Amino acid sequence: MRGATKKVLILAVLMPFLFAACATSQEGTGTKTVVGGLGGAAAGGFLAYGLGGSTAAVIGSTILGGLIGGAIGDRMDAADRRQAQAATHAALETAPSGATSQWKNPDSGHYGSVTPVRTYQAESGQYCREYRQTVMIGGEQHEAYGTACRQPDGTWKVVK
């Protein structure tokens, strides 16, 4: 798998966890797998479409995103996602470009970081930040790059 393709797929998998509300239920792992799978499928398809992929690429990315998202979702618990979301919010909201916000869940052993790399104002007037994130899950490092823009209500929305 080419480096750029791998990064896009990892981004598709990680974004739903970092920006979606945490789902909780009595079922535990089943919910994490479903949320991860659905989020990964949606993000995979959206990213392939946004990058001008063919219909086959969009379908393939949707399926692969769902499978990978389900696997990682099964491994990240609600505490992981809360800590990752808090670090992402802090990085986007207050960290200067190049400064890293870190998180770690001592119970699961999972950890990661978010580093804004560039801030700019889009043609729409929105302020946007490009960022790099790294997540360590089960000894495996996953990296992703993306862009988030501030919405009128003050929240950040991933746009790439």
pLDDT band at 78 (very low <50, low <70, confident <90, very high): confident
pTM of the model: 0.57
Average of pLDDT values for 55-82? 65
Q: How far is CA 149 from CA 9, 19, 158, in A?
A: 20, 12, 6
Q: How far is CA 3 from CA 9, 49, 139, 144, 145, in A?
A: 10, 19, 20, 11, 12
Query: Distance between CA 65 and CA 77 in Å, rounded?
Result: 18
Query: In the block, which residue shows the tokens 């769902």?
Result: 66
Query: Distance between CA 98 and CA 117 in Å, rounded?
Result: 5
Tokens read off for 33: 């797998």
pLDDT tens digits along 6-64: 444 444 445 544 444 333 333 444 444 555 555 555 565 555 555 555 565 556 555 55
What are the φ/ψ torsions at residue 13 (nearest 5 degrees)? Answer: -80, -40
Is-contact 20 32, C-beta < 8 A? Answer: no
Is-contact 122 113, C-beta < 8 A? Answer: no
The domain tally of the chain equals 1
> What pLDDT does 91 receive?
94
What are the φ/ψ torsions at residue 68 (nearest 5 degrees)? Answer: -70, -45
Other Cβ atoms less than 10 A from the Cβ of 134: the count is: 17
pLDDT tens digits along 83-102: 988 999 999 999 999 999 99
Query: Distance between CA 99 and CA 48 in Å, rounded?
Result: 30
Tokens read off for 21: 């509300």
Is-contact 84 112, C-beta < 8 A? Answer: yes
Given a cut of 90, whether residue 129 has pLDDT beyond it is yes
Structural domain boundaries enclosing 30: 3-158
